[in-house]
Amino acid sequence: MSLPTGLPVRDDLVGKKPYGAPQLLDVVRLNVNENPHPPSAGLVAALEKAVGEAATTLNRYPDRDAVALRADLAAYLTRQTGVPLDVGQVWAANGSNEVLQQVLQAFGGPGRTALGFEPSYSMHPLLSAGTSTGWVAVQRPADFVLTVELAVAAVREHRPDVVFLTTPNNPTGTETTHDVVRAVHEATSGMVVVDEAYAEFSDLPSATTLLAELPRLVVSRTMSKAFAMAGTRLGYLAASADVVDALQLVRLPYHLSALTQAAARTALAHEAELLGTVEAVKAQRDRMVAEIERLGLTVVPTQANFLLFGPFGDPARTWQALLDEGVLVRDVSTGPGLAGWLRVNAGTVDETTAFLRALATVVA
Amino acid sequence: MSLPTGLPVRDDLVGKKPYGAPQLLDVVRLNVNENPHPPSAGLVAALEKAVGEAATTLNRYPDRDAVALRADLAAYLTRQTGVPLDVGQVWAANGSNEVLQQVLQAFGGPGRTALGFEPSYSMHPLLSAGTSTGWVAVQRPADFVLTVELAVAAVREHRPDVVFLTTPNNPTGTETTHDVVRAVHEATSGMVVVDEAYAEFSDLPSATTLLAELPRLVVSRTMSKAFAMAGTRLGYLAASADVVDALQLVRLPYHLSALTQAAARTALAHEAELLGTVEAVKAQRDRMVAEIERLGLTVVPTQANFLLFGPFGDPARTWQALLDEGVLVRDVSTGPGLAGWLRVNAGTVDETTAFLRALATVVA
């Protein structure tokens, strides 16, 4: 990519590169934490039908408030977490990236700061930069697990306006306990965002169960992972109705297309089928953990559909060697606190086998 | 909507209301400048097929750079404007709102300003606020038509980082000549955005024809209007490849869903059918102009699929009276320089008839 030289681009963008992992098609792709199970023929037919119905009025703008979809998401969260939620407590956008961007537009922005515990989802600082929100990075301990003491001390020291927590945390797979969420909420007057993109793979209860007691809590979710709908780009959150009202002040009007709304509702109606893949994914993840450890490597304990493995003296070289064997994993080793580590997500049985064979070859 | 009281929302959002016109379903809807012609059965079937194909890999993230779609958009613009464009000069997002938001994130932001000539598209100042870009509003003359003198004087006085021009201008329907575009580009060192959302309805050549000579020019477009795809939410722009590179630094990764990319490509493949509605829309617009003037009202000369009509002593009351007759138009009269005016877009023959009957009743 050429630099935008000669253009009046913002100073803080000069020399930056776009976010994104390589998108290669002719390899085993285990690098972006996708669910490896494609929609069934039945679901594809249902999606065709739903989109076909939506298409008959595609000349019209979509429901600006996506009420039917948000009601379906609220009903799903109520089923999944046991917490009664209604449409006014749920918000949706084009991926959790857009949801989190809207949270930062409403509660962050110029003169305000967001704080995260790194290593974590690398979009959190980028979304902060994109909304001109200051970013405070606090380093996790060597085992990547947040303690109440560390989290509270960081929040008291930096007094952020938005705190990002994550459970399970990407890219480490580690969980964050509700004790930490409660203590951080108590220690701050700002918003507390718990990013639960991978929640359905975890044994931990959802932070949604804390909404009634923590008024500044936001729990973000996505249909890209367990729901196997990464191509649909549907992220959402649960929060108080006041928070959702505030987000409507910054959302772009008609931000969710009629097609997205129809497809996401169809996927939610096929919850059993889609979430039925979760146990298979976890089984391959557990198989990966056992086999990687058998090769003499270390795996960070994970509650997600991916894991950190290593350490490698030259992780970039190992990444390339795996790619040469036809398997694409994520080189996260240049990230904060991640020296030596690579990340891989669970695939199908065959994809997992391909990865384990490639790794055995590369390590040997 | 309740105010987000007790929450640490940004000060500049307190007391604000979300953007948006009423969404009513059981009336004749002529208030948001939609194309009244729904997709044909053949196009719906093609959309079903394309989405069905995309759905088979919906567990995977979409092409992050939307290369195939952008190539199709470039080819369309080349056909429509005669200007050879390639994929690197075209960018797309979820509606022109998101396209323009990205332009402001890259070239506006804190400490920078955008300037527009009001009345114009009311999202321009809202997008500026959402990206913490200062907003400078310059009033148009009584006939709403921008002159070189007025535009250049405003740009020299305020030295904005981004200038919004519009042709045809919403909500006035008036056009902006290329003399003005050239002169503004000459007078500023900032970016010049020409919003051509309604270009296909206009007799004026596209500002795309100026791209080769004006390096800081951005021409934004949408598939929501002439292309009759408002429900798909697909906006795009043409600019230099350097500008497009800069936008990739601020775009959210995977911002365009696989469904959106597939649907938009399908619509572009049906260009002849979709743009075939333009002449019918313009015919109803011209019928509206003639009939409204026959009622003794004034219509602002328009190059778009909508028009300003009035003046009314109590436009809110006229708006309500039209709604009571079953026709929804847009009350723009509270906007800057718009006292007394209402906006209506051309409908189908029947919708246009319904509007003209309702107006005759209300005026009588």
Interval B162-185: pLDDT, tens: 999 999 999 999 999 999 999 999
On whether residue A4 sits in a domain, the answer given is: no
The verdict on a CB contact (< 8 Å) between B250 and A130 is yes
Residue A2 banded pLDDT, cuts 50, 70, 90: very low
CA B78/CA B277 separation, integer angstroms: 20
Q: Which residue range forms the structural domain that includes residue B25?
A: 11-37+277-363
Residue B5 banded pLDDT, cuts 50, 70, 90: low
With contacts defined as CB-CB under 8 Å, which chain A residues touch B48?
48-49, 51-52, 55
The verdict on a CB contact (< 8 Å) between B38 and A58 is yes
Residue B4 has pLDDT above 80, yes or no: no
The verdict on a CB contact (< 8 Å) between B61 and A215 is no
Q: What is the pLDDT of residue A3?
A: 47
On whether residue B3 sits in a domain, the answer given is: no
Q: Which of A27, A40, A94, A102 is the best substitution to test chain B (most B C-beta atoms within 10 A)? A: A94
Interface of A with B in 255-274 (CB under 8 A): 255-260, 263
In a shared domain, residues B265 and B289: no
pLDDT in tens, A213-244: 999 999 999 999 999 999 999 999 999 999 99
A102-111 burial: b if 16+ Cβ within 10 Å, else e: bbbbbbbbee
Q: Strand order of the sheet with strand B217-222?
A: B90-93, B235-238, B217-222, B191-195, B162-166, B113-118, B134-139
Q: Which of A249, A274, A281, A348 is the best substitution to test chain B (most B C-beta atoms within 10 A)? A: A249
In a shared domain, residues B160 and B288: no
pLDDT in tens, B88-135: 999 999 999 999 999 999 999 999 999 999 999 999 999 999 999 999
Residue B60 has pLDDT above 50, yes or no: yes
In a shared domain, residues B105 and B206: yes
In a shared domain, residues B89 and B195: yes
Q: What is the mean pLDDT of chain A?
A: 96
What's the total number of domains in chain B? 2
Q: What is the pLDDT of residue A5?
A: 61
In a shared domain, residues A307 and A319: yes
CA B47/CA B73 separation, integer angstroms: 17
Class of residue B250 by CB neighbours under 10 A (exposed 0-12, middle 13-18, buried 19+): buried
State the Cα torsion B43-B46-B50-B52 to the nearest 10°.
Answer: 110
Q: What is the pLDDT of residue B6?
A: 82
In a shared domain, residues A32 and A46: no
Structure tokens at B268: 């572009």
With contacts defined as CB-CB under 8 Å, which chain A residues touch B254?
95, 97, 230, 233
Q: What is the pLDDT of residue B2?
A: 44
pLDDT in tens, A114-172: 999 999 999 999 999 999 999 999 999 999 999 999 999 999 999 999 999 999 999 99
Structure tokens at B347: 């409908």
pLDDT in tens, B257-311: 999 999 999 999 999 999 999 999 999 999 999 999 999 999 999 999 999 999 9
Q: What is the mean pLDDT of chain B?
A: 96
* B26 in reach of chain A (CB within 8 A): no
Range name among A278-282, B16-20, B246-250 with the lowest pLDDT average? B16-20
Judge whether A169 and A300 are in contact, CB under 8 Å.
Answer: no
In a shared domain, residues A186 and A284: no
Q: What is the pLDDT of residue A269?
A: 98
pLDDT in tens, B310-358: 999 999 999 999 999 999 999 999 999 999 999 999 999 999 999 999 9
On whether residue B1 sits in a domain, the answer given is: no
Residue A16 banded pLDDT, cuts 50, 70, 90: confident
Q: Looking at B245, B273, B301, which one is the last position of a domain?
A: B273
In a shared domain, residues B223 and B292: no
Residue B1 banded pLDDT, cuts 50, 70, 90: very low
On whether residue B4 sits in a domain, the answer given is: no
With contacts defined as CB-CB under 8 Å, which chain A residues touch B60?
29, 34, 38, 230-231
In a shared domain, residues B25 and B55: no
The verdict on a CB contact (< 8 Å) between A59 and B39 is yes
* A44 in reach of chain B (CB within 8 A): yes
Q: Which of B5, B17, B29, B51 is the best substitution to test chain A (most A C-beta atoms within 10 A)? A: B51
On whether residue A185 sits in a domain, the answer given is: yes
- The CATH number of whichever domain residue B325 belongs to comes to 3.90.1150.10
In a shared domain, residues A46 and A16: no
Residue B15 has pLDDT above 90, yes or no: no
Give the gap in angstroms from C-alpha B263 to the nearest C-alpha of chain A: 9
Residue A21 banded pLDDT, cuts 50, 70, 90: confident
Q: Which whole number is the average pLDDT over B72-97?
A: 97
Q: Looking at A254, A273, A292, which one is the last position of a domain?
A: A273
pLDDT in tens, A290-302: 999 999 999 999 9
* B23 in reach of chain A (CB within 8 A): yes
In a shared domain, residues B98 and B15: no
In a shared domain, residues B253 and B345: no
Q: Which of B257, B265, B268, B348 is the best substitution to test chain A (most A C-beta atoms within 10 A)? A: B257
Q: Looking at A216, A247, A273, which one is the last position of a domain?
A: A273
- The CATH number of whichever domain residue B180 belongs to comes to 3.40.640.10
User: SS3 sequence, B303-343?
Assistant: CCCEEEEECCCCHHHHHHHHHHCCEECECCCCCCCCCCCEE
* Helix (H), strand (E) at residue A242: helix A241-247
On whether residue A5 sits in a domain, the answer given is: no
| Predicted model pTM | 0.96
